Homo-oligomer: A and B are copies of this chain.
Amino acid sequence: MAKKSRKELIINEAAIIFKQKGYSATSMRELAEKVGIEAASLYNHIRSKDEILEEICFSVAHEYLSFITEIEERECSYTDKLKGLIELHIKLIIEKPNEVSVANNDWKNLSDPKKKLYKEVRKGYENRIANILTKGMQTGEFKQLHVSVALFTLLSSLRWIELWYRPGRDVTADELKHDLTTFLVHGLKN
């Protein structure tokens, strides 16, 4: 249990330092310093920098997959599914800004076959959102738009939050959630 907590601590610190310096520019030695242990001890908890990146990317991917499963199972309109999805994205970015940033930007540094897997997982996630949009269009709840255009407009609008939003900006999390939801839902609703 203590060992697991230490591993978690290492991963949390790694996410911070990867975000600040970039994954490639960060050495295991620097990470050890940040955590406050000897570089050699680091390897008692984690095998490699690669493994840390995998842990971060796949834990974030896991969060997104939980979201979409929860959203799919909700018995509600497609509009409310869309609202729920936007809310969950914002919540995750606020709760785990470093992890989300590293997963979004540094997944390219994963090694195969993990990189390939990560891309497949992401593609699967996008397809499930596309499916919600398609169904919403079929029922007439959403406008008839090219699904890919709707999907990528939605995803890029969610993506910028991680790049731009900081607690302490002049936008509160609630304002952000409200205004972004208003913009995107009205954009899609029929």
Where the two chains meet, the residues of A that have a C-beta atom closer than 8 Å to any C-beta of B are 143, 145-146, 148-150, 152-153, 155-157, 159-160, 164, 169-171, 175-176, 179-180, 182-184, 186-189
Interchain CB contact under 8 A, B146 and A183: no
- In the complex, the chain B residue whose C-beta lies closest to that of A187 is B187
Say how far A44's CB is from chain B's closest CB, in angstroms. 36
CA separation between A24 and B64, bound complex, in Å? Answer: 33
Residues of B with C-beta under 8 A to A175: 146, 149
Interchain CB contact under 8 A, B179 and A149: yes
Say how far A161's CB is from chain B's closest CB, in angstroms. 8
Interchain CB contact under 8 A, A145 and B182: yes
CA separation between A148 and B150, bound complex, in Å? Answer: 21
Say how far A122's CB is from chain B's closest CB, in angstroms. 14
- In the complex, the chain B residue whose C-beta lies closest to that of A143 is B182
Say how far A86's CB is from chain B's closest CB, in angstroms. 11
Say how far A130's CB is from chain B's closest CB, in angstroms. 13
Residues of B with C-beta under 8 A to A157: 153, 156-157
Residues of B with C-beta under 8 A to A187: 182-184, 186-187
Residues of B with C-beta under 8 A to A180: 149, 153
Say how far A176's CB is from chain B's closest CB, in angstroms. 6
Interchain CB contact under 8 A, B160 and A176: no
CA separation between A151 and B155, bound complex, in Å? Answer: 16
Say how far A20's CB is from chain B's closest CB, in angstroms. 15
Say how far A126's CB is from chain B's closest CB, in angstroms. 11
CA separation between A179 and B187, bound complex, in Å? Answer: 10
Interchain CB contact under 8 A, A143 and B186: yes
- In the complex, the chain B residue whose C-beta lies closest to that of A175 is B146
Say how far A162's CB is from chain B's closest CB, in angstroms. 11
